[in-house]
Chains A and B, each alone.
Chain A
């Protein structure tokens, strides 16, 4: 008893469990570049961390053959008080090189970075661009076979970026695997052989860059869940209303639900995203501390969310969902099922949205 209590005290505990990644599997062959796209919080960086071995998956496994170079943050190992030279050695060994290897490649690293004159200056005097250049120069000399790239190419001047992309291509042609996480769809489609599209930890689409990026743009309606309850229809204000342009003001969002089995305490929720794929509002019965009760087979209900605040004018996408009471599994989840537009003169952010939820049997 005491032992378990002590051990449990040193386990992370979350108030709410959630899967930052679920049912995502893929394998990659040598010389392949995989792009990962998706909105913020979709689990892109978590994938990189799991591959890098920094985090271990709760379930499932990762098998990696080859030396990994994470480009998640190029200068992660840099110490500001040390000189460029000292940091090359430090970062090099962090990336798994031996001192001998670094000695041999030192010239080449410095030349690649273009920082020859500053190599004996403490890096705290470097600009961000210089930091990145030196960091990248070390990484490309690390003999890694797998590169994990997280948005880094966005930093530094255009010329250096070009140099980086060129170097990455070279590695790829020589059989390296590159996993590239980015919001920059253009670079992704140019550079990658294959792309996966994630949202909320789910794999929504996978395949050739063109197809996946199209899916991403279309925000294809994706559905998952065990189907014990299903979301039938969703509407704003009035069912069967043709209008989907609304003046700013209070809105009612409803969806109809049919239960296919006997279900206890499901959690009803919605998420509203704007055109930039940013979540502007999320609400569910669990957060509102509402017990929803029991539903029998074939029962039909309507769940309504009264949103008493103003959304800025723009286009919105509604994702309704029903989760199990444990919040881990879904009965039904339909992404971007409905879009509506708010017109009018409002702008700015939604402040403390008040949401009340009613369930009509």
Chain B
């Protein structure tokens, strides 16, 4: 993979540059979309429907979860179709096929990191101090990234054979978002349903981000271990699955 470092960089550049060409606001869209989401959702859930979030103002509570979530869903949606949309390369030139979903995810990491900067600005405005726990952020990011890459490998490979996957991604990510404590805190969920939230690995990841950003503490240890084990397993499984299917891609795509 190291040999293909420059190629990865160029592919990511292609994604980033081409996305907002021929648009007036250009790259600003990367920040505008989460901001618009934030404003609308904050309005709905802190004025129309009141969701209790303790000492933390609702917009901040929401934004700390919304941006990692958007990274998850955007990456997965984008990576799922990455092989099919690069079929002209896949059928003509040998390149390690992993590079396409990886490039998709990497281009979304850039968006993610930029929106974290926006979060810091918001926290400053709302006078929420940034704690030393921020030092744990890279660990949470890596766990999150492994999870996203693993899922991307699996979905993008299956999508070569069954294009249904890319068509269902919109619905799947929307449902998944509601089953993750992004818009609401976990404690308002009735105990008997809590189990569904907890088996969802995104719950652990999102809660870890909140611990690190808002509550100035190391992520809850059970969540931390669960998400670590889950992410590493998904990544390894996804990679092995992708590899074993990749020899058929050029025949089917």
Q: Which residues does A use to contact B, with CB under 8 Å?
A: 7, 9-12, 49, 52-56, 68, 70, 72-73, 76-77, 79, 81-82, 86, 89-90, 93-95, 97-99, 122
**Residue interface mask B87-101, A partner, CB < 8 A = 1:** 011111111000000
Among candidates A68, A77, A122, residue contacting B89 with C-beta atoms closer than 8 Å: A77
Bound-state CA distance A236–B90 (Å) is: 47
From known contacts A10-B157, A93-B7, infer whether A82 and B94 are also in contact, taking CB-CB under 8 Å: no
Main secondary structure of the interface of B (DSSP, over half): helix
Return chain B residues, CB-CB under 8 Å to A99.
Answer: 6, 9-10
A7: chain B residues within 8 A (beta carbon): 244
A56 — which chain B residues lie within 8 A by C-beta?
247
Q: With A10-B161, A10-B245, A81-B18 as known contacts, state yes or no: A52 contacts B10, CB within 8 Å.
A: no
Separation of A10 and B165 alpha carbons in the complex (Å): 13
Q: How far is the CA of A122 from the CA of B94 in the complex (A)?
A: 26
**B248 contacts A12, C-beta separation under 8 Å:** yes
The CA of A72 and the CA of B11, in the complex, are separated in Å by: 20
Q: Quick check: B21 and A54 within 8 Å, CB to CB? A: no
For B11, list chain A residues within 8 Å (CB): 90, 93
19 additional A-B residue pairs with CB within 8 Å, beyond A49-B250, A82-B17, A86-B14: A10-B158, A10-B248, A12-B248, A12-B251, A12-B252, A73-B88, A76-B88, A76-B93, A81-B18, A86-B13, A86-B17, A90-B10, A90-B11, A93-B6, A94-B89, A94-B93, A99-B9, A99-B10, A122-B21
Cα-based distance from A93 to B95 in the complex (angstroms):
10
Flag if A49 contacts B91 (CB, 8 Å).
Answer: yes
Q: Which B residues from 204 to 236 make CB contacts under 8 A with A?
A: none
Inter-subunit contact B248/A54 (CB<8 Å): no
Interchain CA distance A98-B158 in the complex, whole Å: 31
Q: Which residues of A contact B161 (CB under 8 A)?
A: 9-10, 12
With A10-B245, A81-B18 as contacts: A55 and B10 at CB distance below 8 Å: no
**B residues adjacent to A (C-beta < 8 A):** 6-7, 9-11, 13-14, 17-18, 21-22, 88-95, 157-158, 161, 244-245, 247-248, 250-252
Closest to B18 in A: A81
A to B contact number (C-beta, < 8 Å): 77
SS of A interface (majority): loop
Enumerate chain A residues within 8 angstroms of B14, measured Cβ to Cβ: 79, 82, 86, 90
- Which residues from chain A contact B88 at a C-beta distance below 8 Å? 73, 76
A44 to chain B, nearest CB (A): 15
Report the bound CA distance from A352 to B10 in whole Å.
Answer: 50
Judging by beta carbons under 8 Å apart, are A55 and B251 in contact?
Answer: yes
In the complex, the answer to whether A52 meets B248 with C-beta atoms within 8 Å is no
The answer to whether B90 and A54 have CB atoms under 8 Å apart is yes
Kindly state the separation between the CA atoms of A79 and B10 in the bound complex, as whole angstroms: 11
Given A55-B251, A89-B10, CB of A81 within 8 Å of CB of B21:
yes
Residues of B within 8 A of A76 (CB): 88-89, 92-93
A-B contact pairs, 24 of them (CB 8 A): A10-B158, A10-B245, A12-B251, A52-B93, A52-B94, A54-B91, A54-B93, A68-B94, A70-B93, A72-B92, A72-B93, A76-B92, A79-B14, A81-B17, A82-B17, A86-B13, A86-B14, A86-B17, A89-B10, A90-B11, A90-B13, A90-B14, A99-B6, A122-B21
Q: Separation in Å of the A140 CB from the closest CB of chain B?
A: 16
Rounded to whole angstroms, the CA-CA distance of A95 and B93 in the bound complex is: 8
Given contacts A10-B157, A76-B89, A86-B17, are A54 and B6 in contact (CB under 8 A)?
no
A73 to B157, CA, bound (A): 24
Residues in chain A near residue B7, CB distance under 8 A: 93-94
Expressed in whole angstroms, the minimum distance between the Cβ of A236 and any Cβ of chain B is 39
Could you tell me if A55 and B93 are in contact, using CB atoms closer than 8 angstroms? no
